[in-house]
Amino acid sequence: MIRDALITILGAKTIDQLSDPKQKEITRYQIKKRAEQLLKVDDLAAVYFTEFILQ
């Protein structure tokens, strides 16, 4: 479920949005909130991008 949510969130973004540091932070926040919903937790510590490859 989380993988599907990530694909949905990231798939809706353009290359320009994912290249922009401000938009990347917004995306990080969106992923964090969606993961919290799916995991049924109140607050995840953080979302980290260990690799970020744009094609």
pTM above 0.95, yes or no: no
Q: What is the mean pLDDT of residues 1-7?
A: 94
Instruction: Determine the pLDDT at residue 14.
Output: 92
Give the pair of three-digit tokens for residue 4.
């599907």
Structural domain boundaries in the chain:
2-39
Using one digit for the tens of pLDDT, what is the confidence trace for 9-51? 999 999 999 889 999 999 999 999 999 999 999 999 999 988 8
Cα–Cα dist 24/17, whole Å: 7
Residue 5 has pLDDT above 90, yes or no: yes
Which pLDDT belongs to residue 21?
A: 92
